[in-house]
Structure 1
Amino acid sequence: MAAGVVAGVVTDGGSGAVVGPVGGMEVDVGPFGGLREQLLGAAERFGAGPVAEILGGLVEDVDRALREPLEIFPVCHHSPSSATAMARRLREKRPKVVYLELCEDMRPLLDELHNCTLPVALQAFATDLDGFPADWAPLSVVAPITEASAEYQAISYALTTPGVELVLVDRSTDHVFQWEPRGGDDEAAGKGKGKGEGEGEGEEAGLHGDAVGVEIGDLRPRFAELEEHLLHHGKVRHWSEWWDQYVEQPLIDADHDTYRQVLVLIGSLFRRLRPEGSARTTVDEDRERYMWTRMREHLASSGADPADCLYVCGAFHAASRVEEFGLHGATGSFEITPSTATSWQYGLIPSSHSAIEAQFGLAPGSVSIAAATWTKALRRSGLKPFRLGGARTRKTLAKSARPPAEPVPVTDRLSGFLTTAPAPDGLDEQELLGWCVDIVRLARKNGYASSTADAIAVYETSILLAGVRGRRRPTPYDFQDAAVTCIEKDAVPGRRDIARLCEILLGGDRVGEVGYDALPPLARDVLDRLAPLGLDLEKRTIQRALLDLDTDPRLRPCSDLLWILRRLLPDDVVRPIMGSRRLGERAIQESWDLAIGRNMRAVVELGYEGVTLEQVLEQRLRKAVHGPRATAATALAAVEDSLLYLGGRRFTDELGARAVELLAAERTVDDAPEVLRRIRRLLTHYQATAPELPEWCRAFVAAGYAHYCTLLPTAFTDDATGVRQVAAMLGFLLGMESLALSLGCDHTQLELAVQQSHPESPAKVALLWAAQTQLGLLPLDELRRRCDELLDNPLVVPSFPLYLSGFVQALEPAPALASLVVEILSKAFARLPDSVLLPWLPKLITTLKDHAAEMVPVLIREAGRTFPATLPALDSWVPPWSAPTSPAAPTAPVPDGGPAGALLASHPATCDAVAALLGLPPDWPTPAATAPGAAPG
């Protein structure tokens, strides 16, 4: 129906409907003609065409939704008024089919809700993606359910009443991400929601993780200026308070027709005032097409009578204007795309009020307040809600069932609701007094110096705030503000502030629990295998487990399982207090802090990956070594984890063979330090526990020797390659040379690689000298002389710390040089003047800290062996490098060299220069017979 200004209004005597000329056409506006006339008359006074179109469209949307043969029941998520209206309507209508706005592939999970304590969340989870970008993994969707919600009432009714079918009609989990914009507009599919009105507090706020949230009835203005206007004129701080004050409280006791019309009106208002053309608008409309398509398909296949059906959806979708809306809407214009090949896993995870608030952008405490309002409404009205309770409840409901109520003609309830002031609802003095007394008691327990005077002050301030804000009685939000003002004052003495204490008082952050029978097989297997610990692991408290593995060998499998959990789960789930697991170690006693109950979501998600923990770990290790970013270091880490947690030789050899492939394919040496550290540890383990090295170990050493020899000259000259990486390469080549040579490698390859290396940076130059010394290509005395020259050259002294860092890094491939490094440092401190030494010290310290932190302890131990142990001995101590050398033995006479020798002896300067280039002392021995005229030697 087109919306526009109506010039006149007439009544159709046949049907009683109000019709009017709109654009030359007669449009039936149903029983809401009077309201439409009033709204359009008001719009005319504004003189704006869009205002008239919006106001007229609101009435049309309400009339369209209520005329639909398939009854539409609009709801808002976690709304006590929606829950009470739903419970009343279900007992009156007794529908045989309930269509519910929820992901259709989650239907099997609903049968397990009777094993849970609400709130819990339905979850779909996928790690192996096919059809989605790889960087989206893992994908997760949650749909939280609380007892004070219309969807739970509908689910409970359908599952506990014989002959009732529950059909989920919303898009599948796969389509949630199919329709996700690939350009980064997260809001379109629910990402990015949450934390809009207040940050969730505490660990319970993170129970849903970063999953996409799906709920029935996300009813909130999508026009920022409208929400700001409502909050300002409503004299409230956030949207949750506005909704409770102006919608929940007036509708909590409303009849069915009034409730439906008001909710559709609000949904229509928010829909028509939203920004057009956004990605989220497209997703909303596609969801409505999807749901009506599924409902028509079910009606056609089942033959159900639409009069016996009930469609439960958000009020936003009840005011839909898509062509496919209704049983008589357009058909065939919307095609549901097939699901991708992604494998989805389903389960139930614990939820909490704070988790729901954090994910969906609600104010802290709003869901708890809604739960308290629901409980109060049930107590006041005597309404019996539907709850999942097993076979006994089914029999009771079967006996108490009565024929469906006859349809009642739709009448205009909106006009009276919008123009009539609510019935006076005086102050519930007893309730407010109880709140004031209890908050003072809680404040005392949490360290506040509160008294009876504070309770009186909170009482009076609550009434004052309610009056200032135009309310008939104080709401929980007024009470919370008054308590903060009167009690908290300047400081918070404990962990909880007054606002948090008010939330606890008004209902608290209720946390759900998934029952044992509703857990996936892996989670049940974990609880069964940890049963010998004698702890109730489903509790939400942190429990201490003490394991004496020698006294009680039955606990060793528990220890193995706990270490696997430690490897797979976040650190706060299982935390070792005493004990460790490393290669070559065997613990005698262990102590653990276990928080499995409060982190059951993480355990449940492991169940989506496999049946046992060992299977999950094996899959993850295999995926890690075959991933696009896998390196040789990654594969060696996987080999070590396989030895520590799985122990299977076949799988470990498979991972080791993959490590050889990755090492041979690498073109950089960024991970050389990690590779060296891990392969050394693995070789030590096998040499101590196995009769011979595995084939993959021998292949890895041989391949690494050839690989690093090839890359060594480039690494020395490449500025992007650090000194630590080059030192690790040399450590691999020199430390494992004997094993590599026994496997067929050639020592000449290493010598050639060193000789072809020509570094320019000081640290790498020092590293090269150390490698040449280790290989015998550079005498130790010559290396010492070069270091002395560096200290004597004033142009080189400022960069000497860089040379020193290279020498310290050289301790990795050449540990025998530790005494030389100590000697160089000692000479530097002894020779350099204070004007040079003092500015040089900070650079020296930072260089050692940044580039050779792990080698400094080696130097300290060597210095301890070199320097005297007592202070008196220092006075008479002579450094080993300064001790006088013993006199040289007399040299034997040198035979006459003939004319050539006489020529060289007559011009000694040339020979001295050549000797200096070769690093030889220019000492001339005494010849046996000096030629005539020759200069003596």
Structure 2
Amino acid sequence: MTTPSEGAFTALRTQLQQAAATFADGPEALEGILLGIVDDVDRAVREPLEIFPVCHHSPASAIAMARRLRDKQPKVVYLELCEDLAPLLTELRNCELPVAVQAFASEIDGFPAEWAPLSVVAPITEASAEYQAIAYALETPGVELVLVDRSCDHVFQWDTREPRPAEPADPDAPAAQEETALHGDAVGVEIGDLRPRFAELEEHLLRHGRVRHWSEWWHQYVELPLGDGDHDTYRQVMLLIGSLFRRLAPGDPERVRVDEDRERHMWTRMREHLAATGTDPADCLYVCGAFHAASRVEEFGVGGTTTFEISPPTATKWQYGLIPSSNAAIEAQFGLAAGSVSIAASVWAKNLKRTGVRPYRLAGQAGAKKRAKPGKAVTPAGPAPAGPPPDRLSGFLRRLPVLDPLDEAELLGWSVEIVRAARRNGYLASTADAIAVFETSILLAGMRDRAKPTPYDFQDAAVTCIEKDTVPGRRDVGRLVEIMMGGDRIGRVGYDALPPLARDVYDRLAPLEVNPQQRGVRRALLDIAARPELEQCSDVLWMLRYLMPQGAARPIMGERRLGERSIQESWDLALGTHQRALIELGYEGVSIEQVLEQRLRRTAYGPRATAATVLAAVEDATLYLGSRRLADELGTRALEVLAAERSVDGAPEVLARVRRLLAYYRTSEPVLPAWIESFVKTGYAHYCTLLPTACTDEEASVRQVAAMLGFLFSMESLALSLGCDRTQLELALAQSHPREPSKVALLWAAQLQLGRLSRAELRARCDELLDNPLVVPAYPRYLSGFVHALEPVPGLADFVVEAVSNAFGRLPDPVLLPWLPTLISTLRSGGAELAPLLIREAGRVFPGRLAALDAWVPPWRAEAAAPVRPVRRAGGGGVALLAAHPATCDAVATLLGCDGAWEAAAPRGAELLDRHPDTALALEALLTAR
């Protein structure tokens, strides 16, 4: 075997040794790095199994890959991609690139619960070397594609991050664009993550290269020089870059361990496959990132000395599928400059046209500009040339950079097009701006030692000359340049590649005659009265609205409530834009009904379930699924949760939902379900028990206490019919001793409802509060309690209007004005049902015209000022009237429990009137009116 010193790179080693001795204080450190890089390159090119180093989304890598595949025609292609993603690659034929291969797990076993759900994506674009390898292997008969990288399960097994709770979203953070959010929070894996991990090195390269970011440096100094290079030059330069970045990477032991474990895993899988199939390594091609191609692990090569022990996967159940991707999503996930993937796609198209290379494409690939030609049978590769590969690095490193001549026609076309796009987006651009962009692009390129402006130079010039200091529309000029250079191409997963759930959704929405896969917002009109078959489409849309992100299915007209169905609906649909969310629903079940049922059960039986959330699940099960079985099961669960609760935080929501469910069942069912009867009975006893504590607990708000009393009073008749005892409520109120003014007012209203307090007594207490100067500052808090009391005692609306009116008339401004915002916020937050009661009662009491206001006297004042009328004795008008109407008097006597016949000397009705003078006056007024 040839030693490194005898190889093809002997001359290069000698030159590097001399350079190290000349430019370094001591040749040891620098010489070790430089010679180590050459050794890495020499080792990789000598490997019998050909290593093909690539960089992700690099047009130069894609061109070199297409050339090499046609020249070598390998029988086996080993690809650096998660090995468990292999079955999905054939579905790429049914997709429009870019798309991402995804592994998803919602129920995890073996990982911290805070990490769920787990998601891994591997985006694939047409201008990438991995797509060329995949298309070649799938379209060429007799070729086997083997994925050799760690599985998606091992991606998280080797993740050393500490379990941590999810951070709350920043409310001030700008909303993510739809294109950049296509991957969600998935972990991205890609072939060839080639970027310096040494921050000082990257800063040095950017500064001396006179570029802004890494994508521009790579485009200028690697993409363009390698675009026309031969195979040996390409391989050796990529290996050189990978070795350089690897040797100058900071010594993070954990990251180094993960990188080396991946390399050990890949070489172990390749040797296992070679041993099992007996394939000649010369007929194989190993496609991996340049960073991993320059590996120094002991398992490197087909003759590696050891075998890596691969740990078994966890018990996590993974689901696999394809999701749409976009250039912007790839750039955002992998830290690339905005527009770099779009520019790479345009460079790829130019390279194909310039070089005449025929790329590989999957047959029937959606969105492909050319139809892929059928692959030919594999022919054995020719004999490899004897001896080591020739040294191409020395010539490449000594060669001066070739300055491309200025293409004035291309630059002029760019300048005219960007001005046209800017004017369409609201900029006041003109022909003068096009000329300025043209000249500024040439100036910037000259300042950066380039004869031909790159797309990045042109972008800087356009921003400088057109955008100035304002952005009139939604897009800035930088974004317009990205769109002009190729746009943010967004992929789409075809119907045949979708999971069963997504296909079922599209099939069930077919009667709408709207293409649900088309991106953007589409309006769908449902005239259910004229076409009853559209009711099934309505059911699907309401379930999608519940399950998918906001905006995927948005109702414009129509609503769905318990016991109500719309006869006409209008929807804005954006299912094509949110296709990833629909696909991920397919990982949870085979139909949306199954997924919805699973989520409702997960909510009801989750560790944070409350009675309110479980009742919400009951309502949703009835509303969207119409499942009495599921509703009864979840209702029984709500009963269990309510009995175990020790707080009243969810009382307002519990009250609202129980009222709606009771109203629904009373109108749609012959009898109430057993669970809701038990819920009312248990809730009555439960809230009676918690009421004394809640009245004194500072954590319990007045709205929550009002909701408890609302439950007790509104459900009282049903609870008593089921066997509850009203004594529980009376004892609970007797044991309640609140100190907070609003709760005190709430307790007074409850006593009024039970008959323990009259309105006259309640009015007298309020007057005492207003007469006490020490209590006046706290009086608005009593009023807040009375406002909340409308929940349990809606008949108190007239008294609340009276109390608020007296407050406005008697409270001083320093007390009244600060209270008004509190009153408004109370009605807004918890008074959606209370405000109509007050408004209706105020409209009844107050005069309808402004002119009548001056002479208007409040009815409560008129009642207080009215003289007390004496009771008329026997022989008076009332007795005469009663004598004239004996049937009425008999009815009143029977009602009051007095039996007997009329007597001439002392009529029975007269005796009753003496005992009850108020009744006599009321009867007299009634009969007089008649």
Q: TM-score, normalised by structure 2?
A: 0.89
Alignment correspondent of 1:607: 586
Q: Are 1:255 and 2:230 an aligned pair?
A: yes
Aligned pairs for 1:495-506 (under 5 A) are 495-506=474-485
Between the aligned partners of 1:323 and 1:746, the Cα distance in structure 2 is 81
Q: Are 1:46 and 2:24 an aligned pair?
A: yes
Classify the secondary structure of the residue corresponding to 1:31: coil
Moved more, 779-788 or 726-735: 779-788
Q: Are 1:431 and 2:413 an aligned pair?
A: no
1:683–1:856 CA distance, 2 compared to 1 (3 A): same
Task: Confirm or deny: 8 A CA contact 1:129 1:343 kept in the other structure.
Answer: yes
Unaligned runs of 5+ in 1: 1-13, 20-27, 192-197, 893-937
Alignment correspondent of 1:35: 12
1:463–1:838 CA distance, 2 compared to 1 (3 A): closer
Q: Are 1:718 and 2:697 an aligned pair?
A: yes
Alignment correspondent of 1:585: 564
Counterpart residue identity of residue 73, structure 2: R
Between the aligned partners of 1:793 and 1:429, the Cα distance in structure 2 is 90
Classify the secondary structure of the residue corresponding to 2:602: helix
Q: Are 1:887 and 2:868 an aligned pair?
A: yes
1:53–1:123 CA distance, 2 compared to 1 (3 A): same
Q: Are 1:445 and 2:419 an aligned pair?
A: no
Query: 1:303 pairs with 278, 296, 321, which one?
Result: 278
Between the aligned partners of 1:406 and 1:577, the Cα distance in structure 2 is 68
Q: Are 1:110 and 2:110 an aligned pair?
A: no
The percentage of aligned residue pairs carrying the same residue is 69
Alignment correspondent of 2:332: 358
Task: Confirm or deny: 8 A CA contact 1:773 1:780 kept in the other structure.
Answer: yes
1:577 deviates by 0.9
1:390 deviates by 5.9
Alignment correspondent of 2:916: none
Task: Confirm or deny: 8 A CA contact 1:199 1:358 kept in the other structure.
Answer: no
1:489–1:394 CA distance, 2 compared to 1 (3 A): closer
1:740 deviates by 0.5
Between the aligned partners of 1:393 and 1:468, the Cα distance in structure 2 is 43
Classify the secondary structure of the residue corresponding to 2:110: coil
Q: For 1:489-516, what per-residue CA distance to the aligned partner results, in whole angstroms no more than 9, with x for missing partners?
A: 3433333322222112211111112111
1:665–1:494 CA distance, 2 compared to 1 (3 A): same
Classify the secondary structure of the residue corresponding to 2:376: helix
Alignment correspondent of 2:856: 877
Task: Confirm or deny: 8 A CA contact 1:801 1:847 kept in the other structure.
Answer: no
Alignment correspondent of 1:927: none
Alignment correspondent of 1:418: 397
Q: For 1:492-545, what per-residue CA distance to the aligned partner results, in whole angstroms no more than 9, with x for missing partners?
A: 333332222211221111111211111111111111111111122221132111
Counterpart residue identity of residue 341, structure 1: A
Q: Are 1:231 and 2:212 an aligned pair?
A: no
1:713–1:835 CA distance, 2 compared to 1 (3 A): closer
Between the aligned partners of 2:144 and 2:62, the Cα distance in structure 1 is 20
Q: Are 1:794 and 2:769 an aligned pair?
A: no
Q: Are 1:264 and 2:239 an aligned pair?
A: yes
Q: Are 1:547 and 2:521 an aligned pair?
A: no
Classify the secondary structure of the residue corresponding to 1:73: strand
1:889–1:201 CA distance, 2 compared to 1 (3 A): closer
Between the aligned partners of 2:174 and 2:360, the Cα distance in structure 1 is 33
Query: 2:51 pairs with 50, 61, 72, which one?
Result: 72
Alignment correspondent of 2:927: none
Counterpart residue identity of residue 79, structure 1: S
1:868 deviates by 2.1
Between the aligned partners of 2:302 and 2:175, the Cα distance in structure 1 is 42
Task: Confirm or deny: 8 A CA contact 2:407 2:452 kept in the other structure.
Answer: yes
Query: 2:782 pairs with 800, 803, 824, which one?
Result: 803
Query: 1:94 pairs with 64, 73, 79, which one?
Result: 73
Classify the secondary structure of the residue corresponding to 2:853: helix
Q: For 1:791-816, what per-residue CA distance to the aligned partner results, in whole angstroms no more than 9, with x for missing partners?
A: 11111111111111111111111112
Q: For 1:342-396, what per-residue CA distance to the aligned partner results, in whole angstroms no more than 9, with x for missing partners?
A: 1111111111111111111111111011011111111111110111116999984
Task: Confirm or deny: 8 A CA contact 1:101 1:313 kept in the other structure.
Answer: yes
Between the aligned partners of 2:460 and 2:175, the Cα distance in structure 1 is 18
1:822–1:474 CA distance, 2 compared to 1 (3 A): same
Classify the secondary structure of the residue corresponding to 1:875: coil
Alignment correspondent of 2:351: 377
Alignment correspondent of 1:341: 315
Task: Confirm or deny: 8 A CA contact 1:94 1:404 kept in the other structure.
Answer: no
Aligned pairs for 1:352-751 (under 5 A) are 352-389=326-363, 396-398=374-376, 401=379, 403-404=381-382, 406-407=384-385, 409-751=388-730
Q: For 1:289-341, what per-residue CA distance to the aligned partner results, in whole angstroms no more than 9, with x for missing partners?
A: 21112112111212211111111111111112222222222424x32111111
1:251 deviates by 0.6
Moved more, 47-56 or 463-472: 47-56
Unaligned runs of 5+ in 2: 168-172, 874-930
Classify the secondary structure of the residue corresponding to 1:313: strand
1:820 deviates by 1.6
Counterpart residue identity of residue 722, structure 2: L
Between the aligned partners of 1:640 and 1:119, the Cα distance in structure 2 is 41
Classify the secondary structure of the residue corresponding to 1:869: coil
Task: Confirm or deny: 8 A CA contact 2:114 2:163 kept in the other structure.
Answer: no
1:846–1:177 CA distance, 2 compared to 1 (3 A): same
Alignment correspondent of 2:294: 319
Between the aligned partners of 2:118 and 2:294, the Cα distance in structure 1 is 31
Between the aligned partners of 1:405 and 1:396, the Cα distance in structure 2 is 26
Between the aligned partners of 1:393 and 1:818, the Cα distance in structure 2 is 76
Alignment correspondent of 2:155: 176
Between the aligned partners of 2:295 and 2:174, the Cα distance in structure 1 is 32
Counterpart residue identity of residue 15, structure 2: Q
Classify the secondary structure of the residue corresponding to 1:206: coil
1:393–1:843 CA distance, 2 compared to 1 (3 A): closer
Classify the secondary structure of the residue corresponding to 2:310: coil
Classify the secondary structure of the residue corresponding to 1:500: helix
1:438 deviates by 2.3
Counterpart residue identity of residue 72, structure 2: K
Q: For 1:174-195, what per-residue CA distance to the aligned partner results, in whole angstroms no more than 9, with x for missing partners?
A: 1111122241699xxxx9xxxx
1:867–1:220 CA distance, 2 compared to 1 (3 A): same
Between the aligned partners of 2:96 and 2:572, the Cα distance in structure 1 is 25
How many equivalent residue pairs? Answer: 858
Alignment correspondent of 2:170: none
Alignment correspondent of 1:912: none
Alignment correspondent of 1:287: 262
Query: 1:857 pairs with 836, 854, 858, which one?
Result: 836
Task: Confirm or deny: 8 A CA contact 1:124 1:344 kept in the other structure.
Answer: yes
1:449 deviates by 3.7
Counterpart residue identity of residue 38, structure 1: Q
Between the aligned partners of 1:484 and 1:823, the Cα distance in structure 2 is 66
1:448–1:840 CA distance, 2 compared to 1 (3 A): closer
1:838 deviates by 4.7
1:843–1:482 CA distance, 2 compared to 1 (3 A): closer
Counterpart residue identity of residue 232, structure 1: R
Classify the secondary structure of the residue corresponding to 1:205: coil
Moved more, 205-214 or 269-278: 269-278
Q: TM-score, normalised by structure 1?
A: 0.88
1:694–1:404 CA distance, 2 compared to 1 (3 A): farther
Counterpart residue identity of residue 600, structure 1: Q
Task: Confirm or deny: 8 A CA contact 2:770 2:779 kept in the other structure.
Answer: yes
